[in-house]
Amino acid sequence: NAGVTQTPKFRVLKTGQSMTLLCAQDMNHEYMYWYRQDPGMGLRLIHYSVGEGTTAKGEVPDGYNVSRLKKQNFLLGLESAAPSQTSVYFCASSLLMMNTEAFFGQGTRLTVV
Amino acid sequence: DAKTTQPPSMDCAEGRAANLPCNHSTISGNEYVYWYRQIHSQGPQYIIHGLKNNETNEMASLIITEDRKSSTLILPHATLRDTAVYYCIVRSSGAQKLVFGQGTRLTINP
């Protein structure tokens, strides 16, 4: 099993450009999450989803949109990228069942210039 | 979910036990204690979790105080590869969010 796969791994954007980050999991997990991590800081939750067709805001949702059209995929969109969105983005997934661990992807390093 | 407090950094000698504390004084009865770690810039990795009883797996041991207001993650024989940021998270069994704090940066010294 691949687990949680993030695409792309690296990207440089110009201010104002748009892009979509893809998170795919092959573990049939219901819950999926998007985080950002800035240098020297912990992970901050952007958006999350508790099932196909559902999304919810996390701690820092402004400037981002998400979609969960298929259970295995969770997309994070930046409509108009800003330098403040330069960060490493992590996706995670977990089962709906109680007390289960979350699995993380390897991250997407995004630079907005 | 209850808030957690961890020291920002710790050092430990290679081969010794690393004991990482976490304070969660406002924890409620249905909240579990989870530990994750993040090595360098990789995605976080689950280590262990528990409710009341002490837990042990192949990676670590988790000791939870009787009043559940604090816990300690123990890496019994730390290696250089255990250098990472360790996150203590308190989460209820029905929680949808998974929220991280600042964690403890553990450095294992040769």
pLDDT tens for each residue of B33-60: 999 999 988 999 999 999 998 999 999 9
Whether residue A59 lies within 8 A of chain B, CB to CB, comes out as: yes
The alpha-carbon radius of gyration of chain B (Å, integer) is 13
Give the confidence band of A100 by pLDDT, cuts at 50, 70, 90: confident
CA angle B29, B45, A62 (to 5 degrees): 80
- Total Cβ atoms within 10 A of residue A10: 10
Structure tokens at B108: 């294992």
Note the pLDDT tens digit of each residue in A1-26: 579 999 999 999 999 999 999 999 99
Q: Which of A88, A90, A102 sits opposite B46 (nearest CB)?
A: A102
Task: Give the per-residue pLDDT at A41.
Answer: 81
Whether residue B50 lies within 8 A of chain A, CB to CB, comes out as: no
Partners of A104 on chain B (C-beta within 8 Å) are: 43-45
Question: Which of 10-39 (B) contact A at CB < 8 A?
Answer: 32, 34, 36
**Which of A75, A101, A52 minimizes the C-alpha distance to A6?**
A75
Coil, helix or strand at residue B80: helix
| B9-13 vs A73-78, strand pairing mode | unpaired
Task: Give the per-residue pLDDT at B12.
Answer: 97
CB A34 within 8 A of CB A76: yes
State the DSSP string of A61-97: -TT-EEE-SSTTEEEEEESS--GGG-EEEEEEEE-SS
Partners of A90 on chain B (C-beta within 8 Å) are: 43-44
Comparing alpha-carbon positions, the chain B residue that sits nearest to A107 is B43
Note the pLDDT tens digit of each residue in A31-79: 999 999 998 788 999 999 999 999 999 999 999 999 999 999 999 999 9
Contact criterion met (CB < 8 Å) for A102 and B45:
no
Ranges under pLDDT 50 in chain B: none
CB A23 within 8 A of CB A5: yes
- Total Cβ atoms within 10 A of residue B78: 21
Residue B58 carries which side chain, given as an amino acid letter?
E
Whether residue A94 lies within 8 A of chain B, CB to CB, comes out as: yes
Element holding B91 (H helix, E strand): strand B84-92
Per-residue CA distances from A16 to A19, A35, A112, B24 (Å):
10, 21, 9, 42
Comparing alpha-carbon positions, the chain A residue that sits nearest to B95 is A98
Structure tokens at A42: 């912990």
